[in-house]
Every structure is written in structure tokens, then in C-alpha cells.
Structure 1
């Protein structure tokens, strides 16, 4: 694909950085960006050398939400097509049926996904970040769902994901008012893992991503799928029993042998790349 509004690179440690790249338009979301984003994620998730993906925006904005021209085109329309792009690539699909949808497919990806919110994050971009596994933000970043202020309900699964990330009370505040919230406030709600000064932001996110890239890729994938699968049911016994089965499986792996050896020898482990898989986690 000829990338026009996104770009990416992969460093030797397996950390991929993916930029939303429309700096002259606040990196605003379009159908083209949607297609390119999924195309890149599919290739990164299928690449066994990629261990972490960092999603960010070019310049000092993460994503200003849907492009205003696209929003205006629906005014007076009789119908709305809810599918962002029927023929787009489908990273993360096939792991669990619950994740086979726009934005939710990020939960099905093999690779841990970090949202690096380097500035304003609005509208659909909040869903984009919420369905990542981890979130970092600059301390002056402004966040808003916008939707109720333009006559729309919660979009793209935010009414499902936000209460699970930061509780019903805070989710209701954000979704019902559409007010602008600073990253520091959302950090206190549990939405962000860290909120950092701008001058430290990229270095800190990069250091964290490399720390994550150093763990067992197979263990990271399994753990990610455990987290999201267990949130889909209210049965702690099933979670415990499933985790015991997975522990037994991973104890037979080369990664476990290498991890124990590295611990005993007081050195960093050397884990092998993890091939992309689509096995369902109960």
C-alpha cells in the first residue's frame, strides 16, 4: 500500500512506531487513514520480529478526531454506513468473535499496543487509544469524546471499554458531557499508565517499550489475551483454572527454560521471536 497519511518504522529491538501522519490537519481521522492503519497493524502483527507497537501522532497532536469534512458530509444524510471500511485488512480478527469489530480488533492482536498520546486526542481517537493495551500521555494533552456536543452517542465501543478502564462514574462523566479533560485528571481515573512532561515524553515511552520488548513474546501474547478474555466473563474460578493450564503449557517452552537460565546466571534473557498465531484463548 502507498502510505499517504501514516508511516511506521521498526527498530532492531523489535519496537515498531506507527505515526498518524496528517500534521497539517491535526492528524485527523479519515477513511484513508483507517485503511492504512489496519494495513500497517496487520503487517506488524504478522512479523515475528515485532514485539511492541507504539502508536502516536506526528508533531504535537495525537489525533483531532474525525476530519471535519467527513463529519459535515453526513449532515442531512438519510442513512449512515456504520462500517469504516468493509474491505480493509483485518488484524486481530479470528482470535475471539467478540473482538472482530472496528477498534475492538486491537484487543485480538498478538502484539502489545501502546498509545503514546503526544497531544490533543478527540472523538474517534479516544476509542483508538482506549482499545490499546497501555496508554501514556504528555501532561498538557487535552482529551474529549466530543460526541454529545455534536448530537451523537458514545462511539465505537467506548461505552463498553471506558467503564472497564476507569469505572462507570468517570466513564459517564466523559461520555455524557463530552467535556475537555486534561491528561493529568484522566491519569487519576486510571485511563493513563503515566502522564509525563513533554520534554521527557518520547524518551520515557521509548524506554518502556524496550522494557516490554525484552520479555518473552509468547508470554506477552498469552497474558494480553488472558486480560481481555477474563474481562468478558465474571467467573474467577474459570480464570484461575485457565491460567494454571496456560502455566503448564508455557513451562514446556524454550522461553521458560531461557528465562530461568537467565535468572540463575544473572543476565538478560534472550527470547526468540514469536510467530503470529490466531489461536483462541477461552
Structure 2
């Protein structure tokens, strides 16, 4: 696919996805969503990729400023919302679990950790994108907002399900019912962020963390642990334990398990095959 609204680069086992509409503050469009899903599918299927990082073009002075206002104006003129995506849009993460087979929920089916490197404002769908990442690193002072209230929209793309599970019901109600702007520092106190990092060090810290994941965690372990986490949000404790026990037996039969044990005993890096 020709990439016009995004960039995609793979280095040292880490795929970096950049939202690249800097003149529009990296605002989201149907084209960007289509490209983004295509990239995620490519990265998920690429054995050389162990971790995925999502960020905004730094020249846009935002991570993602939400839906493009010109697109919103077009929805208004047409009298209804239009996602602007083709019927044959790529489906990364689909087919793993029916609970993941929906827009943005597909992140949970992707078998690799996704890290959001939030280098500026994240509004509307930008907040959604950050929330569906597995880990979130952010610059100081970045501004967040759900934004939907001012447009007479509902909470978007499952945020009403996801945010209470990340920050708790009290904070989620504050964010979603008010659509107010809140800062990275507030987001950190709520438990939304993993780390606040100075702008000049953001990508260095994110890449260091991602490379550590890529080299120290077996790809099969990363994949199954991630899927356990999101599946277990729907399960009772006993079902989670039984599923984990079944996975333990299954994964102990793999070459990567034997390689991991051997590498540990020999005090060397493991050569996992994924």
C-alpha cells in the first residue's frame, strides 16, 4: 500500500508507526485509519518485528489531534457520520477472539506489544488510539480530551468500556462525561500513563524499552501474555487460571521454551524463533 498519511519503519525488532499529517496536527482520517490497519497487519505478520511503537510526526506538534475537522464538517453536511474507510479495509488482530473483532479492539488480537509514544495532544480518536495501546509514554504537559461531548457524539470506539478498566470508574466518568481537557500530569496520576519523559528523550526511552522487550521476552510469551490480559478482562478467576494452565502445557512443548532454558543455563542471549 502507498502510505500518504503515515510512515512505517522497522529497526532492531521494533516497528515504528508515525501518524504523518503534520500540517493538520496529525489529525485522523479514513485514509490514515486504513493505512494504520494495513501497517499493523504487516507488522503483526513480520517475524522480524517484536514490538510496535505508535507516535505522531513531531512537526505536527501533536500525537493525534482527533478527527480532521474538515471531515467532521463533511459528516455534518451529509447528515450522518461516515468513517471514510473502504469495505475491504485490512483486519489486523481479527480471528483471535470474537471479543477483539471490532474497530480499535483489534489491537487486543495483535500478537505484539503496542507502545504509544505520545509526543503531544491526543484528542478524540487520538485518545482512543492511546488508550488501546498496551503501554503509554508521554511528554510533560501534553493535553488529552475525549472531545465527543462538544459534537453531540457518544463516547467513541469502546472508551466507555476501556477507560474504567485503565483508570477506574471515577476518573473515567470525569473524562467521558465532561469531555474536558486534562494534562499528562493528571493522566499520570490517574494511572493512564506508564511514564512521563522529557520531549528530547521520549523516543530514545521508548525505543530502549521496546528493544529490551524485543530481546528479553520470547515472542510467543509476549503474544500469549498480551492475549491473556485482554481475554481475562471478561473471565472469572478460575477460568483465567485454567486457561493459563492449558497454555503452560502447550507452550512448554515449543522449541523456544527449550531454547529459553538452555540460554538461561548457559548465561547467553536466547535465539528465539517465534
SS of 2:106's equivalent in the other structure is helix
8 A contact 1:84–1:102 mirrored in 2 = no
CA contact under 8 A between 2:28 and 2:65: conserved in structure 1?
A: yes
* Unpaired stretches in structure 2, ≥5 consecutive residues: none
Give the 3-state SS of the residue equivalent to 2:76 in structure 1: coil
Q: Which has the higher helix share?
A: 2
Q: Give me the whole-angstrom Cα distance separating, in 2, the residues matched to 1:97 and 1:88.
A: 18
* CA deviation after TM superposition for structure 1 residue 76, in Å: 4.9
SS in 2 for 1:74: helix
Q: Does 1:17 align with 2:16?
A: yes
Give the count of matched residue pairs: 271
Structure with the larger RCO, 1 or 2 (CA within 8 Å, 6+ apart): 1
The 1-side partners of 2:84 and 2:5 are apart by 20
- Deviations along 1:61-86, one digit per CA (max 9) or x if unpaired, are 21000000011112254333468543
1:138-163 superposed Cα distances (whole Å, 9 cap, x missing partner): 11211111111222220111101111
**Structure 1 stretch displaced more, 31-40 or 69-78:** 69-78
Query: Match of 2:5?
Result: 5
Is the 2:128–2:157 contact (alpha carbons within 8 Å) kept by the matching residues of 1?
A: yes
- Deviations, residues 203-245 of structure 1 (Å, cap 9, x unaligned): 1101000011111001100000000000012x10111111111
Match of 1:244 in 2: 245
Alignment RMSD:
1.4
Match of 1:280 in 2: none
Which of 72-81 and 238-247 deviates more? 72-81
User: 2:153 matched to 1:152?
Assistant: yes
Q: Could you say if the C-alpha distance between residues 138 and 41 of structure 1 is closer, same or farther in structure 2, counting changes exceeding 3 Å?
A: same
Is 1:119 matched up with 2:120?
yes
TM-score by length of 2: 0.95
Q: Which residue of 2 aligns with 1:227?
A: 229
Q: Which residue of structure 2 aligns with residue 162 of structure 1? A: 163
- Match runs of 1:78-117 below 5 Å: 78-81=79-82, 84-117=85-118
- Over 3 Å counting, the alpha-carbon distance change for 1:151 and 1:79 in structure 2 is closer
TM-score by length of 1: 0.92
Alignment match, 2:50: 51
The farther-off stretch of 184-193 and 209-218 is 184-193
